[in-house]
Structure 1
Amino acid sequence: MITSTHPLNILVVEDNPSDYFLFSEYLRLSGLPIRELFHAQKLQEAADIAQEETPDLIFLDLTLPDSEGIQTFERLNAAVPHISIIVLSGVSDKDVALHTIALGAQDYLVKGEFDEKVLVKSIQYSIERKKILQKVVENYERYNTLIKATNDTIWDWDLRTNEILWNEGITTIFGFRPVDVQNTYEWYSQKIHPDDRERVLLKIEGCITEGKDQWEDEYRYLSGAGTYRFVFDRGYILRNDQHKPYRVIGAMMDITERKKMQEELVRSQIETQKLITQITIQTQEQERREIGRELHDNINQILATAKLCVDMALNDEDIRKELLTKSYDNISRAINEIRSLSKTLVPPSLGDIGLKEALLEMIENMTVSPELRIRIKANDHHIETLSNNKKLILYRIVQEQMNNIVKHARATHAEVELKTSRKKAHLVIKDNGIGFDPKQKAKGIGLNNIVSRVEMQNGNLEIISSSGQGCVLKVDIPL
């Protein structure tokens, strides 16, 4: 409210000198502090003064030399919408003055029917009403901007009338034509998927009757195209002083694409698990074949030779000693072969000897070409603080890749490097062999075993190779 300490700038738009003089006298008698009183006789002159001087209030006669009637107010209000306007009317244009109130005028005074007291009250109330209106407009614009900035469909449900108002999202997001949208609760509820409808409506009703402040749910909602969209909907329940609900304001978010991504992720995880299971079975079958071949082609032959020597020694005393010696040597060879095979199959005791020592022992027991030199770099002491499970994974990956290098790479140099960072264990295996094209070469059982082990640890695998350029295998496993 204006006080006596608030000097006013007032613009009076009046082309009749007598009416202007009388108005000036009433203004003087009112006792209001006036900083400056501007006077204009034409509408264009008034618009220029208002835009340049920005008065607190404008008194406007609707009948001017360059404009008349409703248009006088509309033109000036459009030019300075932030300034309060009080219409000065004659008795004959009282209805026109009332119309200007509907268009945004703050008040109207009929010439000859007001005094200084009415004038004071009209000035005070008009300026305050304009301030309040300006705040309402700013809040409304802020609300609309906020709604446009979100991809949600905003709805406003009046529980007293069962009317629901929608923002533009119901047309832009769900594809309904504006003429098809009905502002009723029944229209909204009928668009919920039949399988979800009863559950959703009962939950809404329960939240309202149980005194809760908010509600949320996921369900399927019909779009304008006739297809159902997955939505995440939530509403905030407003209550009066008696805690009686009277309004629910909410936002409906289209999560169809998110649902598709989640379903795709689940399918991908299932496929990955199937692949891991398949590779595990293939690995087991491959290991059985390797064991069978080793037993049949190598150890079985050695033991058969030893048995033959024993049989011959039993029947021939002359060469018995020589035959038993040969039998002893063959049995010793078989024992060594079985020991070597066992070390390949049975996980090493990494907690006792450490990962680096286990790798050195593994390479020492491998059948490696004399031309191939293998170097191990594992000086990071944090390697030995890894869990035994992660150590075993790294050990098996090195074992698989070293077998690949020995069998296929024709390399003369290979290097195994192990180190850690704050969040990962890093393994790099390099060789200078014949290399291959990772994009064209189908993965063998060895590489598949490596891939499955890395995936089970949620790690990353990178293979860098090309024909004649050797191969670099990089593995990162989260700690």
Structure 2
Amino acid sequence: MARSAEKLKILVVEDSEGDFILFEESLREEFLEPVIDRAVTFSAAAKLLKSKSDYDTILLDLTLPDSRGTELVTDILDLAGQIPVIVLTGYLDKNFGIQTLSLGVSDYLLKDEIEPIQLYKSISYSRERKRIVNQLAYSEEKYRNLFQLSPQPMWLCDLVTFRFLNVNEAAIKHYGYSLDEFLSMTVRDIYPKEDIPILEERIKTTSASGSLYFRGIVRHKKKNGEIIDVDLQSNTIDFDNKKNQLVLANDITEKLNYISSIQSQNEKLKEIAWIQSHVVRAPIARMIGLIDLIKNFGDGEVNKSELIEHLLNSAHELDGIIRDITNKTESIELGNKE
């Protein structure tokens, strides 16, 4: 079998000279020009790992002059970080070798059974497994950041009890509850009491339909008692091998208030337009008629004083209408400033 062209850098933590020589020969048989560092004590290994972080694999004997067993494994794993650790053990330590897998080591090998090809496979599989685990951890961290750093309030809740399982910082700031308070509450606790029957009916309807996706406008209550209108979106998500509900809540109270204000202003504008097109025309028509009488008839034919009185009354009526229009216009302008 041709040697692997990978130029690996490997740290062998082994105090036995004979065992180290066997491992070194096996590594050089399977890998092309491997860089092999050796540490015979935990202290020496710790010094190397603190000064160098570019090892591809660590081969670890379970018994060293200055450390052994669980303590040795956990200390090396802490120093190794993202570097895969393969435990090397004798027959007497076989059971403990298996237990080390639960501590986080990538693999364990029995010293008396190690063959070059076996060592090659263990290193290759351990590195690939570690790469996948690191990739999953990165993805998990990325999505956790998307959740925690979202500017919109978000939370995760149990699909059966509707108890909060996690909430992001935006939800904590917006609703006023601390994280511990949220985790002791259910979704029902942020709804006004009169809206809970609506919530229960929605839960019943979505569960019966088989689709747990929901989007709609609901009312929520903050810790300070303020009632807000919320554009709510929710869907199921797998979390800890269990289906839960992920919710995004967008407070649209100001938006709805703005829309309501615009609608109110539009109604006032319609009213002003109606006044201008209907109410204003009546006194103006009378004034035109009165002026026409005064202009076209002689002094003896009409009572000009009476006509002027009617003309004055129509002018006052028109003035009142214009004043009313002005007041309505000012109220619209004041609303815009607010």
TM range (shorter): 0.5 to 0.7
Q: CA deviation at 1:83?
A: 1.8
Q: In the TM superposition, what is the alpha-carbon distance from 1:84 to its structure 2 partner?
A: 0.9
SS at match of 2:151: coil
2:34 is matched with which residue? Answer: 36
TM-score relative to the length of structure 2? 0.68
Query: In 2, distance between residues paired with 1:140 and 1:149?
Result: 14
**Of the candidates 254, 261, 269, which is equivalent to residue 263 of structure 2?**
269
Shift of 1:166: 1.9
Q: Deviations over 1:114-144 (max 9, x none)?
A: 4227645533432232122111111111102
Please, which runs of 5 or more residues in structure 1 have no aligned partner?
240-245, 310-443, 456-479
Q: Distance in 2 between matches of 1:254 and 1:61?
A: 56
1: CA distance, partners of 2:90 / 2:173: 50
CA contact (8 A) 1:166 1:183 kept: no
> Conserved in 1, the CA contact under 8 Å of 2:167 and 2:182?
no
Give, in whole Å, the separation in 1 of the partners of 2:51 and 2:30: 22
List per-residue Cα deviations over 1:230-261 (Å, max 9, x = no partner).
3222223469xxxxxx7244222131xx2233
Report the Cα distance in structure 1 between the residues aligned to 2:63 and 2:223, rounded to whole angstroms.
Answer: 52
Q: 2:174 corresponds to which residue? A: 173
Q: What CA deviation, in whole Å up to 9, does each residue of 1:288-334 have, x standing for no partner? A: 334333332x321234319849xxxxxxxxxxxxxxxxxxxxxxxxx
Q: Is the 8 A contact 1:152 1:251 kept in 2?
A: no
Distance 2:32 2:50 in 1: 20
Higher mean Cα deviation, 91-100 or 120-129?
Answer: 91-100
Contact 1:12 1:37 in 2 (8 A): no
Specify the alignment match of 1:417 in structure 2. none
Change (3 A) 1:279 1:192: same
**How far has the Cα of 1:20 moved from its partner?**
1.3
Tell whether the 8 Å contact from 1:200 to 1:217 is kept in structure 2 after alignment.
no
Structure 1 match to 2:148: 148
Q: Any idea what the Cα deviations from partners look like across 1:80-104, whole Å, max 9, x if unmatched?
A: 5222112345788889867764553
Question: What does 1:181-260 correspond to in 2, within 5 Å?
Answer: 181-182=182-183, 187-212=186-211, 214-237=213-236, 247-255=243-251, 258-260=252-254
Question: Retained in 1: the 8 A contact 2:167–2:179?
Answer: no
CA apart distance, 1:286 = 4.6
Q: Deviations over 1:417-466 (max 9, x none)?
A: xxxxxxxxxxxxxxxxxxxxxxxxxxx949x69x97xx9xxxxxxxxxxx
Q: CA deviation at 1:181?
A: 2.7
In structure 1, the residue matched to 2:289 is 295
Deviation sequence 1:348-384 (CA, Å, 0-9, x none):
xxxxxxxxxxxxxxxxxxxxxxxxxxxxxxxxxxxxx
Partner of 1:13: 13
The residue that corresponds to 1:392 in the other structure is none
Q: 1:48, CA displacement in angstroms? A: 6.0
Q: Which amino acid aligns with 1:191?
A: I
Give the aligned partner of residue 305 of structure 2: none
CA distance in 2, matches of 1:4, 1:162: 57
Q: Which runs of 5+ in 2 are unaligned?
A: 303-320, 333-338
The residue matched to 2:58 in structure 1 has which SS?
A: strand
157-166 or 174-183: bigger deviation: 157-166
Q: Please say if residues 155 and 251 of structure 1, whose CA atoms lie closer than 8 Å, have aligned partners that are also in contact.
A: yes
- 1:43–1:72: 8 Å Cα contact kept in structure 2? no
3-state SS, counterpart of residue 298 of structure 2? helix
Query: d(CA) in 2 for partners of 1:278 and 1:134?
Result: 68
3-state SS, counterpart of residue 228 of structure 2 = strand
Alpha-carbon distance in 2 for matches of 1:292, 1:97: 109
Which residue does the alignment assign to 2:314?
none
Per-residue Cα deviation, 1:168-193 (whole angstroms, up to 9, x for no partner)? 24433322222223378xx2234333
**Normalised TM-score (structure 1):** 0.51
> Partners of 1:249 and 1:173 in 2: how far apart?
20
The aligned amino acid for 2:250 is D
SS at match of 2:30: coil
The structure that has the greater radius of gyration is: 1
Instruction: Report the secondary structure of 2:34's partner residue.
Output: strand
Contact 1:233 1:252 survives alignment (8 Å): yes
2:48 matches 1:46: yes
- Note the 1:42-191 alignment, pairs <5 A: 42-47=44-49, 50-51=52-53, 54-61=54-61, 77-78=77-78, 80-88=80-88, 101-109=101-109, 112=111, 114-116=113-115, 119-120=119-120, 122-157=122-157, 159=159, 165-169=165-169, 170-182=171-183, 187-191=186-190
- The code of the aligned residue for 1:176 comes to Y
Instruction: Name whichever of 220-229 and 159-168 sits farther off.
Output: 159-168
Identity score, percent? 23
Q: Secondary structure at the match of 1:127?
A: helix
